[in-house]
């Protein structure tokens, strides 16, 4: 399969289904519970978790099964903050024991964590561009049941008009009054 990965139906509903692709009516609906903060996160990552989890849950962006992606973002945030603090204490360029000049390892860590954070932010709607694609609708929608449309044949039988449901022989025959046919 080529092209970008499929978006979940909830995300497409929020964006308005611009591609007009068919809905997956059998898509599993996760519980809308608030995810708990994983115990392995550091102090800074936990602060970021507490800052975001309620807001993202209220927006309908994350549920209990999205815990891993939010934890990964928060972990990258915590590592980025740590690397930036270390960069304040150390120079950007350091001299190796052999005399070569190279960039600080903390700069590499900070840059890598920013890349990871950017990916996760786009995934869970934390960037202005990602949010601009979402149309907020009062409450999260559930998949609507399919609408059944039946074709009706109107035929003239003698003096009266009759409506016949296609596929039903005599069932569903409705006799119309002469006034009703002048619409």
pLDDT digits (tens, 9 = 90+) for 34-89: 889 999 999 999 999 999 999 988 887 888 888 999 999 999 999 999 999 999 99
- Among positive and negative, which fits the CA dihedral 124, 130, 134, 139? positive
The span from the CA of 147 to the CA of 167, in Å, is 18
User: Model confidence over 87-134: pLDDT tens digits?
Assistant: 999 999 999 999 999 999 999 999 999 999 999 998 888 888 877 776
Instruction: State the DSSP H helix or E strand holding residue 106, giving kind and residue range, or none if neither.
Output: helix 105-124
pTM as predicted: 0.61
Q: Are 62 and 34 in contact (CB under 8 A)?
A: no
Task: Please give the biggest Cα pair distance in the chain.
Answer: 107
The span from the CA of 176 to the CA of 93, in Å, is 89
Write out the two tokens for 110. Answer: 């900070």
């Amino acid at each position: 399969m080529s092209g970008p990965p499929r978006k979940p139906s909830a995300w497409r509903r929020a964006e308005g289904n611009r591609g007009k692709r068919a809905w997956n009516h059998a898509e599993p609906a996760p519980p809308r519970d608030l995810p708990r903060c994983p115990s392995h996160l550091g102090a800074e990552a936990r602060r970021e978790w507490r800052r975001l989890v309620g807001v993202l849950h209220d927006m309908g962006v994350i549920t209990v099964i999205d815990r891993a992606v939010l934890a990964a973002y928060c972990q990258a945030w915590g590592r980025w903050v740590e690397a930036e603090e270390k960069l304040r204490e150390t120079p950007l360029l350091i001299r190796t024991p052999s005399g070569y000049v190279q960039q600080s390892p903390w700069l590499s860590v900070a840059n890598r964590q920013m890349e990871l954070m950017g990916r996760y932010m786009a995934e869970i709607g934390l960037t202005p561009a990602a949010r601009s694609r979402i149309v907020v609708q009062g409450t999260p929608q559930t998949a609507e049941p399919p609408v059944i449309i039946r074709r009706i044949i109107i035929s003239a039988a003698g003096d009266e008009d009759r409506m016949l449901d296609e596929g039903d022989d005599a069932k569903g025959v409705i006799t119309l009054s002469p006034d009703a046919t002048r619409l």
